[in-house]
Amino acid sequence: MIFKDIWLDIKAVQERDPAARSALEVLLLYQGIHALIWHRFAHWFYNHKMLFIARLISQIARFFTLIEIHPGAQLGRGILIDHGAGVVIGETAVVGDNCTIYQGVTLGGVGTQKGKRHPTLGNNVMVGAGAKILGAFEVGDNCNIAANAVLLKPLEDNMTAAGIPAKPIKKDGVRIPSQEPQTVTVEHYCQMKERMKELEAAVARLEKELEKR
């Protein structure tokens, strides 16, 4: 099972990273794959209550790859950790199948209580570089989290979220109309002032024409 998952991870890199030339190159030279290999063995020891060994493996992996995945995290198949430096995945995080995670991503918690405290990602989720997903909530299938976004609330399927804090901006690839009131800028004010002058002049002309009659 572990070796099958590793093979699917390698194939995911080949399919989704245009720089990957062969399975052998991915296996030997991609630190994201190395982190996943270390993690899958660490997770096996974690599930069998050999927690010290599991944690030791994860720390060794962190040293060599700069990617920190807690041995308790549950990772699906076909995961691509692209570049990967600075990625942190917490103990109770769950990552679905065919997800893509870029460098600097944090799947973290917001409290010190025991139990579920990290996010759950559905299948086919893309998390952009530097994004932070914090808390024990679910991100639906086929979602995209923009680079440097900070997501603090659940997302439905097929959503794209961006911003700090992150908010949905697209649904099924279609932009969601903004419900926030528009800010009046200096440019808008000047345009409105000019328009008022034009309207006042038009009213004055009409008044003069009425007086002539």
Q: At CA 124, angle to CA 120 and CA 127, rounded to 5?
A: 65
pLDDT in tens, 149-180: 999 999 999 999 999 999 999 898 888 886 65
Task: Quote the pTM value.
Answer: 0.78
pLDDT in tens, 18-77: 888 899 999 999 999 999 999 999 999 999 999 999 999 999 999 999 999 999 999 999
Annotate 9-54 with DSSP letters as a single string: HHHHHHHH-TT---HHHHHHH-HHHHHHHHHHHHHHHHHTT-HHHH
Residue 157 is predicted with a pLDDT of 94
Q: Does residue 144 have a pLDDT over 70?
A: yes
Residue 120 is predicted with a pLDDT of 96
Give CA–CA dist 57/43, Å, rounded.
9
Residue 179 is predicted with a pLDDT of 64
Q: Phi first, then psi: what are they for 200, rounded to 5°? A: -65, -40
Q: How confident is the model at residue 181 (pLDDT cuts 50, 70, 90)?
A: low
